Amino acid sequence: MRKNQQGASYIGILITVIGFAFLAKIAIAVWGAYWDDRVVDSQIIELLQSSPANTAPSKFSDQMNQRLDMNNVRDLRFNEIAKVVNVDGLQVKKDYEIRKPFLLNIDLVLKFEKSFDQRSTQTK
């Protein structure tokens, strides 16, 4: 005799939908922070390539703040997320973290660190 075919149960479908919703919530929560960090990195590299080696760190910071405002990165101030020194060319060390509320009292902590050197960016 032939048995009836059985597919996915309602509970299985419900768990799958909840799992996809959970993953989508994580992606939506962290996407903005990673996109802003990518914009910050690209603007630092562009400004390092176009700036002369004797640029003052304060002038570099001011120009970066202007670039971040133009690119709609308004949550980050360059002076708060990076340090600029001028030793044999500009060197930028970016180090900051962002906390995003996720679910009830659970926060996602995103940490971004990267160093830039004017000599290495101009050779590319």
Domain assignment of residue 22, yes or no:
no
Total domain count, the chain: 1
The angle formed by the CA atoms of residues 40, 42 and 44, to the nearest 5 degrees, is 70
pLDDT digits 0-9 by tens, 22-73: 999 999 999 999 999 999 999 999 999 998 888 899 999 999 999 999 999 9
- Tokens standing for residue 37: 């960090």
Please give the Cα distance from 45 to 120 (Å, whole number): 10
Q: Where in the sequence is the domain holding 45, given as residue range(s)?
A: 31-122
The average confidence (pLDDT) of the chain is 90
Specify if 1 maps to a domain. Answer: no
Whether 9 is covered by a domain: the verdict is no
Is 87 a domain residue?
yes
DSSP class of 11:
H
Angle at 35 between CA 57 and CA 70, to 5 degrees: 55
Q: What is the pTM of this model?
A: 0.80
- Other CB atoms within 10 A of residue 119 CB: 12
